[in-house]
């Protein structure tokens, strides 16, 4: 560090990677808490010889630099003070005759975390903003889970009998795509032999045990819920931009996926297809193809699949979330990315949290090869004329977030989402409704477009709550057609219908209930002779 850099740090003040201590003659006890915090998060510089006066930092110098430096480093190397060795590089600066000591503290590897003090794991610290904070037990558990040599997804699962573990349709979905992408393997091979060959079943004496990866990829609802007592994915379609004030209507549409990864992907794609413009109708309905993907969707697909395969499924207190804003797509994942932040954009193999799940998805070409995904997303998005996607790999919160700014014309969720629900002329109306500011004229415009299917649905729901099967019978359909799906989605979006169990849209007890706005719409429609 040079003096000009030190001056810049003093002007900026303490933050996530810099901490100042006065330390004129002795090492302050809080310095070791900072070492623990830096080693557990992103590393940082600990500077001795700087005092804090009000809102400013002033160089006062270390009066006994040799003693202070030796005391600090000798305590760090003492077995009783800190549980893991921490890499510390020291530097001495002379600033106008005053001595400054700078200690560069490196982040520890995941296998050497948590770093705690005095033999007490409860004295684990994390760096958040400009301060050191004692870690909570859930923070410590996340670090311990990531520190194990055996990855979470490779461990056996025994909570459910083997006969009840698998969802046959999910496994068939996967095997169909596996044999399309990989020639030379026998498609007639039994499911048990297939799963055992690829490491999804472990042999324990005469019995076979599924791994956690098996449950997360192909598991039945029973198995998944026994393994993770929280949703796999929460997807929200929002009618406002990231910088807008939070409107009264929080989201236009939402799906909460509580099933395995393959089913969560199918639910996401199904909802995405509903909101997509016409050029996507010829794309593969499940994977959207690989060679002819529009660049914009390729970026989204890679980000979404990465979110599904890399999250910390052992974290039962948080869930992955995808939010479609008007000005971009935000993806948030429980679990930070392993490895050095500065190398995340670089090509090459990188250590991952769930290697079995990741390899399973790569075998069917659902994501880029290892170490290329982030780089591909940045380059593809730039070619479309957008700013680079951004990410935050947060060690202190053990979380990763990714933001795709702006949306090209092929994947314009800001306009095409609204057009799909309201028609091409209603974008402004939808924006107003999402902000709780709709006008009577805009409502009338939507009401005038009520079609026969929608009127029948509203009439039935006005009498009593209706299930999906009961509406199929009412309309004379043999199965759940696209027309019914679109009608239900539009009427929910404009506030004519609501779910009786909104947090569990796939519940077998789910019903559709008419709202006050829906009753007014039905009355106006009848009065105008549209019966």
How much is the pLDDT for 240? 86
Distances (CA, A) of 522 to 421, 434, 476: 18, 21, 21
Cα–Cα distance between 51 and 44 in angstroms, integer?
A: 18
Residue 45: HSE in the Cβ half-sphere, 13 Å Cα cutoff: 18
pLDDT lower than 70: segments of the chain: 273-295, 348, 369-372, 407-449, 478-481, 526-531
In this structure, what is the dihedral angle of CA atoms 126, 374, 104, 129, given to the nearest 10 degrees? -40
Provide the token pair at 290.
């690989």
What phi and psi values does residue 212 have, to the nearest 5 degrees? -65, -35
3-state secondary structure 231-262: CCEEEEECCCCCCCCCCCCCCCEEEEECCCHH
Q: 98-105 and 125-128: which strand pairing?
A: unpaired
What pLDDT is stored for residue 335 in this prediction? 95
pLDDT of residue 276: 53
Q: What structural domains and CATH numbers belong to the chain?
A: 3-147 (3.30.950.30), 152-227 (no CATH), 233-411 (3.30.565.60), 439-527 (1.10.10.10)
Identify the pLDDT of residue 408. 42
Give this prediction's pTM: 0.72
Give CA–CA dist 339/322, Å, rounded. 24
What are 492-495's contacts with CB under 8 Å, separation 24+? 492/253, 493/252, 493/253, 493/421, 493/422, 493/430, 494/421, 494/422, 494/433, 494/446, 495/433
Crossing angle (nearest 10°) for helices 452-463 and 516-527: 120
* CB burial readout 352-376, b (16+ within 10 A) else e: bbbbbbbbbbbebbbbbebbbbbeb
Burial (CB count <10 Å: 0-12, 13-18, 19+), residue 214? buried
Burial class (CB in 10 A: 0-12, 13-18, 19+), 190: exposed
User: What was the pLDDT predicted at 198?
Assistant: 97
């Amino acid at each position: 560090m040079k003096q000009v850099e030190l001056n810049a740090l003093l002007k900026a003040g303490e933050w996530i990677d810099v901490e100042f201590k006065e330390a004129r003659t002795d090492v302050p006890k809080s310095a070791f808490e900072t070492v623990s915090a830096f080693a557990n998060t992103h590393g940082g510089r600990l500077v001795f010889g700087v005092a804090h006066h009000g809102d400013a930092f002033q160089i006062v110098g270390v009066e006994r630099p040799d003693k202070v430096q030796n005391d600090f480093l000798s305590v760090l190397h003492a077995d009783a003070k800190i549980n893991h060795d921490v890499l510390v590089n020291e530097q001495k600066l002379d600033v106008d005759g005053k001595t400054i000591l700078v200690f560069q503290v490196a982040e520890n590897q995941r296998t050497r975390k948590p770093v705690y003090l005095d033999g007490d794991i409860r004295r684990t610290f994390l760096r958040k903003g400009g301060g050191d904070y004692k870690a909570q037990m859930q923070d410590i558990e996340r670090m311990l889970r990531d520190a194990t040599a055996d990855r979470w997804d490779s461990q056996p699962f025994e909570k459910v009998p083997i006969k009840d573990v698998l969802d046959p349709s999910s496994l068939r979905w996967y095997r169909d795509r596996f044999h399309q992408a990989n020639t030379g393997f026998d498609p007639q091979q039994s499911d048990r032999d297939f799963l055992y060959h690829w490491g999804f079943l472990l042999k324990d004496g005469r019995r076979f045990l599924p791994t956690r990866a098996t449950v997360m990829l192909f598991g039945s609802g029973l198995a998944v819920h026994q393994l993770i007592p929280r949703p796999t994915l929460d997807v929200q379609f929002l009618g406002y931009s990231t910088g807008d004030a939070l409107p009264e209507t929080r989201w236009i549409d939402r799906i909460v996926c509580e099933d395995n990864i393959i089913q969560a992907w199918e639910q996401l794609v199904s909802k995405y297809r509903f909101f997509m413009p016409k050029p996507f109708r010829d794309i593969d309905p499940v994977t959207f193809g690989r060679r002819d993907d529009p660049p914009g969707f390729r970026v989204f697909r890679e980000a979404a699949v990465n979110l599904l395969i890399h999250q910390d499924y052992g974290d039962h207190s948080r869930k992955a979330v995808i939010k479609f804003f008007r000005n971009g797509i935000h993806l948030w994942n429980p679990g930070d990315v392993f490895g050095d932040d500065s190398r995340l954009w670089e090509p090459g193999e990188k250590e991952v949290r769930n290697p079995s799940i990741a390899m399973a998805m790569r075998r069917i070409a659902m994501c880029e090869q290892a170490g290329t995904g982030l780089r591909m997303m940045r380059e593809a998005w730039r070619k479309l004329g957008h700013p680079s996607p951004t990410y935050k790999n947060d060690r202190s919160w053990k979380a990763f977030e990714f933001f795709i700014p702006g949306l090209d014309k092929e994947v314009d969720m800001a306009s095409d989402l609204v057009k799909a629900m309201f028609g091409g002329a209603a974008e402004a109306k939808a924006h107003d409704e999402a902000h709780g500011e709709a006008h009577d004229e805009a409502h009338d415009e939507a009401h005038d477009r009520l079609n026969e299917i929608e009127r029948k649905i509203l009439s039935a729901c006005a009498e009593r709550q209706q299930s999906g099967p009961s509406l199929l019978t009412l309309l004379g359909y043999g199965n759940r057609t696209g027309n019914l799906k679109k009608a239900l989605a539009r009427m929910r979006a404009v506030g004519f219908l609501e779910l009786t169990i909104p947090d569990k849209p796939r519940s077998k007890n789910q019903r559709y209930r008419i709202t006050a706005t829906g009753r007014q719409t039905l009355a106006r429609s009848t009065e105008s002779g549209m019966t």
